[in-house]
Amino acid sequence: MNHLFAIEALSSDHYARTRGTARTLTVDRIRECRHDDDLARCEAMLVQAKQGWLYGLDRAFTKAERGELLVEVRNRRQLIKLGRSAPKSKGPRLDPTRLPAEALIRLIQSHPDIEVVKRLRAERDRRGALQTITGPEP
């Protein structure tokens, strides 16, 4: 993109080529990227989109599209810094079915919210009922 921006030839072919090249940047491609240095360059280009190029990213993308891409680039960079390849899956903050038995018992004894404690006790009772049917886990 920097090479295309540097040419700054005043022609519709140049504009079409620049727009076409810029539009290859998509949210899906950003999510596939594994290189922080490439994402850093992409972030800089998106931030500096209206810095005086004759025909730059400000013409290829709307402000909303640039904002969406910028958010995705920054999120992707943060994930790479954390050592993750994908974001955490969405779900309830406290899912009693996913807690180990020790954590379940500890939370029942110490959690301040009585509604949460009731859900934890129900999960403990459900597990106890499963053990009587299937036997203890090996």
pTM for the model? 0.61
Check if the beta carbon of residue 32 is closer than 8 Å to that of residue 25: no
Domain layout of the chain by residue ranges: 2-82, 96-134
DSSP 58-94: HHHS-HHHHHHHHHHHHHHHHHHHHT-SSPPPP--SS
Tens of pLDDT, residue by residue over 29-78, are 999 999 999 999 999 989 988 776 656 788 888 999 999 999 999 999 99
Amino acid at 52: G
Tens of pLDDT, residue by residue over 74-122, are 999 999 999 988 888 776 778 888 888 999 999 999 999 999 999 999 9
In whole angstroms, what is the distance from residue 45 CA to residue 92 CA?
A: 37
